[in-house]
A and B are shown apart, each in its own frame.
Chain A
Amino acid sequence: MYEQIIDFLSLSDPNVRTVVLGSILLTSSSAIIGAFTFLRKKALVGDAVAHSVLPGICLAFMIGGAKDPLILIPGAFLAGWLSMILIDKITLHSRIKEDTAIGMVLSVTFGLGILMLTFIQHSGNANQSGLDHFLFGKAAAMLGSDVIIFSAIALLMVLTVSFLFKEFALVCFDREYASSMGLPVKRLDFLMTSLTVLAVVIGIQAVGVVLMAAMLITPAAAARFWTDNLKLMIIMAAVIGAVSGFTGALVSYLYPSMPTGPWIVVVASVFAFISFFFAPKKGILQYMIKQRRIRLMINEENIIKAGYHIGEDRKDFTSSMTATDLIRRRPMPESKLKGHLAKLTRQGYFRKHSQGWELTNAGYKKGSRLVRIHRLWELYLTEYLNIASDHVHEDAETIEHFITPELEKQLEQTLNYPSEDPHQSKIPYE
């Protein structure tokens, strides 16, 4: 097993090279085209097209009598296009909505495809073996001659995209504006759709009709998490596609009886999951970390504020306070409080001594600022927004942690440095 992997990775076997090159080209070019499908929100249409390609392949085989890509590709392409037109016509001329039309076309054409496939398999035609690989894909079944044809098509697709990149992007973003500028939107649409169908048609060799839509959409969806730049997004999608295709080829080499499509799609999905959780900015994890940091900051600032309040009560900000004093002000489990206090002491806001803690000068300043903002905000709410004074405390409890120094200045100026808040507490200015 280990040796086999090394063998594969060394790419010394020309057969392996063919399959690897073919797989990578197919999956990465479908990922590039799929990015536009994704941006046009046509994922479902892509799925329907992929499924409807099957009867096209079967019919082409029945007529041509051989598993030659030069026969099968046109058949698949026509079938894909027909299904697309069918969806459009149904939506346009009946009361059926697009999603229903897609579902109908998908299931009917796929059913038809399976029927024809079964028929061919029982017809006793010796050439038919391997036709069922189009269901779930089989990278290893690619021949050198297939790869040449597929590569040519993939190259053509990528070149088209790079030449018409800005036009495609504009049509995806704002069709009507593109049209108002005189761009041939209909023809560009036709081209993008044809590319999608082509991507599906050549991709099914490695991925299969059932999972092909996932190959179009997943890499782009994953890449979207990492960047807001369209070019970068497409490059990332292509790389994700390539890695998925490479893994598919490896699996196909190690386990010749296993279909490659599911593997390729699983690898692409792993990328999508990783992106969903770990992407900087848009990922869930980043969001959770940020939320946690905010909660922590609020807790710590509240403890400093409690210390300040105690000082205010005792009219002595240097007096020492115990954990119990602080908990009375700001209820929380003692162990948690001590944890926070240890950190705040390290940061120089508190000083620890035998009877307890006392606020340092930095702690005093921070506490006074929080209390000042709290009271200013309460005053602002009652005076400017006419909110009753018994309703403003909760709001100020949150806002006090988020007001920037600039906003604080503005508040002070707007209110003209008031001395008391609505509850007649003194507003401290350092």
Chain B
Amino acid sequence: MIKEAKNPVLEIHDLTVTYHKKPVLWDIDLTIPAGSLTGIIGPNGAGKSTLIKTIMGLIKPSSGYSKIFDKPLDEVRKRVSYVPQRGSVDWDFPASVFDVVLMGRYSDAGMFKRIRKADRELAMDALQKVGMEKFSKRQISELSGGQQQRVFLARALAQHADLYFMDEPFAGVDAATENAIIDLLHEMTGKGKTVVVVHHDLQSAIKYFEWILLLNTRLVASGPVTEVFTSELLQKTYGGKLTLLTEIGNLLQREGLPARETK
């Protein structure tokens, strides 16, 4: 069940991504409505992170393309922000909380240019929004997992983008912080920003999101939460009913065949 969004900020067409010839995303076609809080849901290894990374241009797809605000990514980079999975960096890096949040200002400040006072203020505002201003001088290795997550969030907020992609921002976060973050995200979508979040918990997903993508290598569903959250679609996403597809994927990898004909 794939529903077209009326006023899409993101469109993906016929997207296929392979790692070492093994397709991990297959024929994805979707749209995401402007101003929505969208959840990407699917089991481990479903390709959720891969989807986000491909949209952000970190992975080259073997076919297909995506458009953001009806333009290619490179033309609208400054309006898009990415929150990676917390485990993707070495937290022992010599930097303070504030240093990391300030990184969110680098693209606006520009290469070779110095960070200005205004950038510092914006970074501090972002820290305040996630309730971490007291930790601004703290070395990042001395933070708890949830605090590290909030620092990453603040760094993205400091970018002042219009579209945010967040990879599992609730991983390792306690219930109170999760609620605070959700409130913040709702506040952002209330101001017309669009937030796309990879999420694992089905229970809370119903409460949090307006639009949902169900993903398991292929797109099982995309649409308003009420229409997507049916037991049939969830079964399709989690029920391991994709055996044929998986087998073909394995075959392609084994034989070293391309997933798409190369021109």
Contact = CB atoms under 8 A, between A and B. Distances in A.
Contact of A176 (B77, B80, B88, B141): B88
B94 A228 contact: yes
A179 B89 CA distance: 14
A39 B82 CA distance: 23
Nearest to A179: B58
Interface string B207-240: 0000000000000000000000000000000000
8 contacts: A164-B112, A173-B90, A174-B88, A176-B82, A177-B155, A180-B57, A182-B74, A183-B111
A179 to B, nearest CB: 6
A163 interface: yes
Interface residues of B, number: 30
B103 A177 contact: yes
Given A170-B106, A183-B106, A228-B95, 15 more contacts: A173-B90, A174-B88, A174-B103, A176-B53, A176-B82, A177-B103, A179-B56, A180-B80, A180-B81, A180-B82, A181-B106, A182-B74, A182-B107, A183-B107, A224-B94
Given A224-B94, A228-B95, A177 B115 contact: no
Q: Which 7 A-B pairs give the minimum distances between C-beta atoms? A: A180-B82, A182-B77, A181-B107, A228-B139, A180-B56, A230-B94, A173-B93
B84 A177 contact: yes
Interface string A160-180: 000110110110111011111
Contacts of A166: 103, 106, 115
B82 A227 contact: no
Interface in B81-127: 81-82, 84, 88-90, 93-96, 99-100, 103, 106-107, 111-112, 115
Interface in A20-65: 39, 41
Interface of B: 53, 56-58, 74, 77-78, 80-82, 84, 88-90, 93-96, 99-100, 103, 106-107, 111-112, 115, 139, 141, 155, 159
Contacts of B141: 228
Interface in A199-256: 224, 227-230, 233
A174 B84 contact: yes
A229 B100 CA distance: 12
B89 A174 contact: yes
Contact of B94 (A170, A174, A227): A227
A77 to B, nearest CB: 25
A178 B81 CA distance: 11
Contacts of A178: 106
B256 to A, nearest CB: 13
A167 B81 CA distance: 17
Contacts of A173: 89-90, 93, 95, 100, 103
A185 B150 CA distance: 25
Contacts of B58: 176, 179-180
Contacts of A229: 94, 96
Contacts of A41: 90
Nearest to A229: B94
B92 to A, nearest CB: 9
Contact of B93 (A172, A176, A177): A172
A167 B93 contact: no
A181 B77 contact: yes
B112 A176 contact: no
Given A173-B95, A176-B84, A230-B99, A164 B57 contact: no
A223 to B, nearest CB: 9
